[in-house]
Every structure is written in structure tokens, then in C-alpha cells.
Amino acid sequence: MAEQASYKYRKVITIGIVSELTGLSERQIRYYEERKLVFPERSVTGNRKYSFEDVELLIDIATKREEGVQTYEIRQDMIRAKKKQKLRSPLLRGEINARFGIQKDR
């Protein structure tokens, strides 16, 4: 992920605004949270806060649901994608190090 301070990753958007941006009801958004598809932060007062990345994810989830994909399948795809990304990162880092002759400190 890019720099965490980037506007895309800052959790500052309320559920009402997310609802307007995505066309999803607040209940649908909460349901996707219950199904562990999206992970909003909570403010001190307990309000959900979302990022632009979350908004994009919710739109993607809604599109898949319209195509008939079940939430369980979406979750499994997300897990597989994360595992693949974790495996790929060290390999990519190794390729870059090898390409530029960077030796790992021992």
C-alpha cells in the first residue's frame, strides 16, 4: 500500500456520505462490515469512518453482488488476493535487489 497519510487511505468519510457515493443503503454497508468485507475505523463517539479506498471496495462488492456473487465468495477472493500479495512482495523485492546488485545485510 502507498503512504498511509495519503488522502485515499485516511478514514474520514461518514457512513451517510459513503451511502450517497456508492448508492448502497447504510444497512447494506453495515452488513458488508458484518461479513468482514470492509473494515471502517470508529471515532471516539463510535461513528464509522471510511476511506476513499473503502468506497471503491464497496462499489466493487456491490457490482459483484449484482452479478450474483455471494458475500462468502467475495471474502474468499479477498483472502486469496491478500495471500498472493504477501507472497509476491518478498519475491519482487528480491528481484529488484538482484537487478540492482543490492546485497542483504547479514
CA pair distance 89, 38, nearest whole angstrom: 23
Nearest Cα to 33, choosing from 69, 63, 71, 81?
A: 71
CB within 8 A of 33, min separation 6: which ones? 39, 40, 48
User: What is the CB neighbour count within 10 angstroms for residue 20?
Assistant: 11
Q: Which fold has domain 13-99?
A: Multidrug-efflux Transporter Regulator; Chain: A; Domain 2 (1.10.1660)
Domain boundaries, the chain: 13-99
CA pair distance 3, 101, nearest whole angstrom: 26
Reported pTM = 0.74
pLDDT digits (tens, 9 = 90+) for 68-106: 999 999 999 999 988 877 766 666 667 677 777 776 654
pLDDT digits (tens, 9 = 90+) for 44-61: 999 999 999 999 999 999
